[in-house]
């Protein structure tokens, strides 16, 4: 057994104690961090959504206006040759914060009529949905997409593996 003098003991104990504190903190924080950061670790756009965007590119007139979550909007612009309610250089848009807020309200609302009214206000022609947590404008949230099945306001034109596209009436 090798005995260390007091100076060498301090040089070993302080870093070991620091490392133990960091590891214990990480272990305690990890469950909360996974909940908070989880959506950022999942794909922000799924293969099914990309497939739907490619369908859009072939079947919907170019530069049509879509409503969707932020990342689906970015994908629809790039892969589907469309315009979208949010995304891109949104800070240059007229009343950008209002537009983002109302896009989110359309997806979070329980009312088909309210969602339809907001989409008509902005001239939205199509709604792109999927059943997962999304970034509709201000944070990761689970939208209420069942309201788009209301045939008075929306017509389903695409459905495949959870991704649905509705035409706004």
Residue 8 confidence (pLDDT): 61
Residue 15 confidence (pLDDT): 72
Work out the burial of residue 82: count CB atoms within 10 Å of its CB; fewer than 13 is exposed, 13-18 middle, 19 or more buried: buried
φ, ψ (nearest 5 deg) of residue 157 = -120, -10
Residue 12 confidence (pLDDT): 65
> Distance between CA atoms of 74 and 82, rounded to whole angstroms?
9
From the CB of residue 79, how many other CB atoms can be counted at a distance below 10 Å? 17
Maximum distance among all Cα pairs of the chain, rounded to whole angstroms: 83
Each domain of the chain, given as residue ranges in start order, spans 1-38, 47-168
Tell me the pTM.
0.77
Q: How many CA atoms lie within 13 A of 53 on its CB side?
A: 25
Residue 75 confidence (pLDDT): 92
145 contacts 106 by C-beta, under 8 angstroms: no
Per-residue pLDDT tens for 8-50? 655 667 677 777 787 777 677 767 666 666 666 667 889 999 9
Residue 32 confidence (pLDDT): 67
> Distance between CA atoms of 97 and 26, rounded to whole angstroms?
36
Residue 16 confidence (pLDDT): 73
Q: Which of 105, 106, 66 shows the shortest CA–CA distance to 86?
A: 66
**Average pLDDT per block of 10 residues along the chain, 169 residues long:** 58 72 72 64 85 97 95 92 82 79 96 98 97 89 95 98 97
């Amino acid at each position: 057994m090798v005995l260390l003098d007091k100076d060498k003991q301090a040089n070993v104990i302080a870093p070991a104690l620091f490392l133990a504190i960091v590891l214990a903190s990480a272990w305690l924080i990890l469950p909360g961090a996974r909940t908070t950061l989880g959506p950022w670790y999942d794909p922000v756009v799924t293969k099914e959504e990309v497939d739907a965007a490619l369908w859009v590119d072939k079947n919907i007139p170019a530069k049509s206006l879509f409503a969707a979550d932020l990342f689906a909007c970015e994908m629809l612009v790039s892969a589907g040759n469309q315009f979208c309610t949010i995304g891109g250089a949104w800070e240059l848009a007229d009343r950008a914060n209002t537009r983002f807020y109302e896009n989110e309200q359309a997806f979070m609302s329980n009312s088909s009529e309210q969602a339809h009214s907001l989409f008509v206000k902005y001239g939205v022609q199509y709604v792109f949905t999927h059943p997962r947590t999304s970034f509709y404008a201000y944070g990761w949230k689970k939208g209420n997409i069942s309201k788009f099945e209301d045939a008075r306001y929306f017509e389903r034109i695409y459905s495949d593996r959870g991704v649905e596209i509705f035409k706004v009436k």
